[in-house]
Each structure stands twice: as structure tokens, then as C-alpha cells.
Chain A
Amino acid sequence: MRLQATQTTPAVIPTASMADIAFLLIIFFMVTFTIEVDRTQVTLPKTVMRFEVPKKAAYVSITEGGQLKVSDGEQMSAPVQSSDEVLSFALEVLGQDPSKEFVLKADDSVPYRYIDETIDALKQARAKVIYLLSAQETQDDGSGSGS
């Protein structure tokens, strides 16, 4: 009887598809990459209803202590001192693009008077839509119970 020679598996990791996978990953990250224009740390209010905020929308952020920051959606947010400056900012932004949307990124516990002044400034500047940025409310958060 004739014995067959034992087959040896080559000790090589196949890397032919590595470049394809790498470029797919690059394309994924390039498509999903967005520059975060406002990095203010706030605890967002939780809501059930949430809609996608338009890209390039202008931002007004309000921290727990009532500090204001604004961004036109292109440049990083910069602090402003009062709602009058928010009005000037909104007038400038809407002067360039009257249909520009605004995003209000405010802390959950900030006193409402700060929100009121900001919304009023945006109303005076004739903004059309404001998005109240929120986090997703889950079942564990006890949606709809209590006030």
C-alpha cells in the first residue's frame, strides 16, 4: 500500500481582504463623522418624543448656572453674557440665512427664566423653529408619572 504524504497547512494569516475591510471602516467613519460645535456639559431633560436636529443648526446652550454659549453651527460655541447678546447673535445668523433652525441645549435643572429670556430673544429675531435638545426617556425613567 502506498502512503500519501501528509498535507501541511501553511502558517499564514490571509490578509488579502484586510485592505477592503479597512477602507470600508474608513468610509463608515467619514460618512458618520460630524464636528460637535458645542461641547457644553449639561444634563439634558428626558423626553419620549424626539426628532432629528438639522445639521448645521445654530446652538444656544445654557448651563445649570445660567451661563450662555452660542454657535452658528459652523464654528465652536463661544460664551455670551446676556440674552441681549443672544438676540444680536440670532439676528446676525438669521440675516445670513432666514430659515436657520436653532437648537436650545439647556440643563434639566436650569431655572425657566433663563429659557424664557432665550426663547424671547429668538422670537424677537424672528427665528422659525427651535429644537429643545433632549435625551431619550426610557421605561425605567417612569415616563408620564407624576409632575
Chain B
Amino acid sequence: MKIKKSRVSDEIPTSSMADIAFLLIIYFMVTTTFAATRGLDFALPEEDDQPPVVEKEESVLIEIEPSGNLVVDQKPMQLSEVLDYLKPKLEVNPRKPVIIRPDGNAPYGAMAKVYDELRQGADKGVEVKNIAIPTQREIDRFWF
């Protein structure tokens, strides 16, 4: 009688590897989303019960009306004119505070544009080092 010897293959079966690899690729391609992951950083001051050292008269006040129009130190102004207005003031005092105060009904986009313009100042030779966006609670507590 002839005894058959079963031989175990010494190769790793790789025939299904391509299928698995492409399934993984398809999974990652379908689930990958290109989310917006960039924005403007805004450092918050330390919460303090003491009134801020900044006095209203020493700072530049940029108000944003509900329509999105700007009023800088009581004067209506276009966004593109703000840095030109700030330049001589910042040459005298480079740490002059610039306060952004949007109306409660002003669109958020208007505030973002003003903040963006001030941040761009560094690239345009008008670096605004001291930008403040006080909240209504802070204004009620400390504004004078």
C-alpha cells in the first residue's frame, strides 16, 4: 500500500493581500475629510479682578456698527485705511493698545476681518502689538 505524504506549503498565501490592501485604501479614501484646520490665534489675557491698566484715552478704539461699517476714534473709516491711520500713532508709542469693540448685532465676519487686518500689519510695516477685544462683561465692569 502506498502512503501519501501531505506536504505543507512553506509559502505565505498572498493572493488576497491585494484585495485587503485595496479595501483599506477605499476605506481611508471615503472617510478622509479635508476639514478646515486653520485660523487666527487670539491669546486671552489673564482673568483679573483688577481694572486694566489701559486707559480709554490712550488707546485707539475701533467700533464695528451693526452694518459692519467701522468707526475709528469716532471717525467713519474703511478697513483699508485703518493701518495708515494707526501708523503715526504706533511710531510714537509702539505698544499703543488698539481696542476692537463690535456692536452686539454686528456680523462676526466683520470682527474677524478687522482683527485679520491688524494682524497683517506686521507684514506691512505697521505692527500692532497690543490688540484687545474686551467682552461686554469686561466693558460693564471696567470701562470708564
A residues sitting closer than 8 Å to B (CB atoms) are 15, 18-19, 22-23, 25-26, 29-30, 32-34, 36, 44-53, 62, 103-104, 106-117, 119-120, 122-124, 126-137, 144-147
Residues of A within 8 A of B135 (CB): 116-117, 119-120, 123
- Contact residues of B: prevailing secondary structure: mixed
- Shortest Cβ distance from B67 into A: residue: A147
A50-B21 contact in complex given A144-B117, A147-B70, C-beta closer than 8 Å: no
B54 on the interface (CB 8 Å rule)?
Answer: no
Find the residue from A18, A62, A124, A146 having the highest chain B CB count within 10 A: A146
CB distance from A147 to the nearest CB of B (A): 5
A115-B18 contact in complex given A103-B39, A120-B135, A133-B36, C-beta closer than 8 Å: no
Contact of A146 (CB < 8 Å), options: B29, B33, B78: B78
Residues of A within 8 A of B39 (CB): 47, 50-51, 53, 103-104, 131-134
With A53-B38, A112-B110, A147-B68 given, can you name 14 additional A-B contacts, CB distance below 8 Å?
A15-B18, A26-B25, A30-B28, A32-B32, A36-B35, A45-B108, A49-B116, A51-B39, A109-B108, A110-B107, A114-B108, A119-B133, A120-B138, A123-B47
